[in-house]
Amino acid sequence: MPKLCQFTSPADGKPVYVNPALVSVVYTFKGEPPDTVIAFGKDFMLGVAESLEETVSRLDRAMAAQGTEG
């Protein structure tokens, strides 16, 4: 099973877990401060409290760790 990444829900501060293998795009949505959005395909998007850079870094680390398992 792929390693899950933990992020923080901006709505209530609770943890949310993401399978990095299913992520199709990560972007920021305008606002102040801008929201970081993780998209899975075209139909599901998840907002997280972490910055774009932190989100991408966590996803990259999880995918790298997955590649070394085996």
Q: Which residues share a beta bridge with 40?
A: 44
Structure confidence by residue, pLDDT tens digits, 1-32? 568 999 999 989 999 999 999 999 999 988 77
Give the architecture (CATH level 2) of 5-64: Beta Barrel (2.40)
Specify the pLDDT at position 58: 95
Structure confidence by residue, pLDDT tens digits, 35-66? 899 999 888 999 999 999 999 999 999 988 87
% the chain with pLDDT above 90: 66
Q: Which of 64, 61, 52 is nearest to 27 (CA)?
A: 52
User: What residues does each domain of the chain span?
Assistant: 5-64
Residue 70 has pLDDT above 60, yes or no: no
Specify the pLDDT at position 34: 80
